Chain A
């Protein structure tokens, strides 16, 4: 039997402990809508071969910074589109950032989200927790994405890709509500539902998507899971809807967000604010340039 390194032994020990403690830890925090369990074998295997970065506690204390990206695909003024957006969070030295607790993404004025014909039905947290996305109607899906979570296991950092589904939820307190369903499988077998809402914003922004990110426990004694990267779409790309018509079911792609007929001076502005569990904040801005005149819708 090959000798295990100290790090690998530590990881296996942590994973075994996590297998008995993690569900209890999740249950002990009722505000965290998270179902979490550890796939022990996969966790140990991945961790041992991850080649992850070593943690530096001094670096981890540094303030995180963020970058933001946003683009319309296609970008034709007056036309329908999908918004692609993403962010990345880093701390100096490449350490794991503190866990994210809230994100607010501001989008440009005059972006016709309400006219997208996305989210024609709603899905609830209870439905997602009971059956996952399969428990929701397809016509509630508004977009997809993937996040990268980083988990501290011993002295290693393991990255976990987490597919996302964005769904329409029943309005809450006079705000259009969204749900972000995240399903991680390896090394943490975790499902988390992030509630979001469309809130007003000051010009040059038309509104902001405010997302509460629940703390996702990793292993006992270790910091909560950190979301370090996210890429997502809000729009018809990859989305299929169904509607009954004369006794048949029609399969179609919803039209998508409606771009204004003219481009704001300087382009379409986006901004994001990030709040972390340690109370620190980061912000980022980006501008999607106006389309070339030739690509404008006639």
Chain B
């Protein structure tokens, strides 16, 4: 009986140690990185002064729907949510500066992914942001392209 208990304790201790080792390595083992390039074509939902709410279709590595609240002023800044079909959402914010002139105002900057839901609940990343804004468009058309690495 004593021998059984000893073996049980040793066995239990081994399991605890193994669990501890697994627990320490689990996040690293479960974390995924994704090199993503996506393009979103956005159109006005509403506008107030320099603030736009836009949404549209995103295509590329993370296809889905994108919704963004954007301020187009001396600089361009905003927040966004990408809803990936049946998987989850990715949220973040970004800033850009204009690089272009005339009817098509282009801009360049970066976005920071701060979280999400579903598979992307722990999404993090910083990616490049490029876009154009059609100043003559009645529906305030924005094209946004993001390229970078996402961990989740």
Check A206 against B135 for contact (C-beta < 8 Å): no
Shortest beta-carbon distance from A210 to chain B in Å: 10
Assess the A260–B48 pair: CB atoms within 8 A: yes
Chain A residues within 8 Å of B75, by CB: 174, 200
Please judge, given known A-B contacts A111-B49, A112-B47, A113-B50, whether A176 and B136 are in contact too, CB under 8 Å: no
Number of interface residues of B (CB under 8 A): 23
CA A120 to CA B100, docked complex, whole Å: 11
Q: Tell whether A54 is near chain B: CB-to-CB under 8 Å.
A: no
Is B101 in contact with A110, judged by CB distance below 8 angstroms?
Answer: no
Cβ-based interface call for A132 (8 A): no
Q: Assess whether B51 is in contact with A260, with CB atoms less than 8 Å apart.
A: yes
Given contacts A115-B140, A260-B49, contact A199 B74 (CB under 8 A): yes
Instruction: Mark out the residues of chain B between 68 and 85 whose CB falls within 8 Å of any chain A CB in the assembled complex.
Output: 71-75
Interface assignment of B9: CB less than 8 Å from any CB of chain A: no
Q: Does A258 contact B (CB under 8 A)?
A: yes
User: Is B102 an interface residue, CB under 8 A from the partner?
Assistant: yes
Cβ of B97 within 8 Å of any chain A Cβ, yes or no, is yes
Contact B99 A110 (CB under 8 A): no
Q: Closest A-chain residue to B137, C-beta based?
A: A117
B contacts with A: majority SS:
loop
Are A114 and B72 closer than 8 Å at their CB atoms? yes
Query: Which residues of B sit under 8 angstroms from A109, Cβ to Cβ?
Result: 49-50, 73
Task: Give which listed residue, B50, B99, B140, contacts A171 with CB less than 8 A.
Answer: B99
Please report which residues of chain B, range 43-100, place their CB below 8 angstroms from some CB of chain A when the two chains form the complex: 47-51, 71-75, 97-100
Q: What is the CB-to-nearest-CB distance from A254 to chain B, in angstroms, rounded to a whole number? A: 10
A contact residues, range: 20 to 34
A207 partner residues in chain B, CB cutoff 8 A:
73-74
Bound-complex Cα distance A206 to B77 (A): 12
Known: A110-B48, A260-B48. A168 touches B101 (CB 8 A): yes
Within 8 A of B (CB), among A59-77: none
* Residues in A neighbouring B74, C-beta threshold 8 A: 175-176, 198-201, 206-208
- Which 8 A-B pairs give the minimum distances between C-beta atoms? A260-B49, A174-B97, A110-B49, A207-B74, A261-B48, A114-B72, A198-B74, A112-B50
Q: Which residues of A contact B (CB under 8 A)?
A: 78, 109-115, 117, 119-122, 168-171, 174-176, 198-201, 206-208, 258-262
Q: List 28 A-B contacts (CB under 8 A).
A: A109-B73, A110-B49, A110-B50, A111-B50, A113-B73, A114-B50, A114-B73, A115-B47, A115-B50, A115-B72, A119-B102, A120-B103, A121-B101, A122-B102, A170-B101, A171-B98, A174-B108, A175-B74, A176-B74, A199-B74, A200-B74, A200-B75, A201-B74, A206-B50, A206-B73, A207-B73, A260-B49, A260-B50
| Other A-B pairs, 16, CB within 8 Å; known A113-B50, A114-B133 | A109-B49, A110-B48, A111-B50, A112-B50, A113-B73, A114-B50, A114-B72, A114-B135, A171-B100, A171-B101, A176-B74, A199-B74, A201-B74, A206-B50, A258-B47, A260-B51
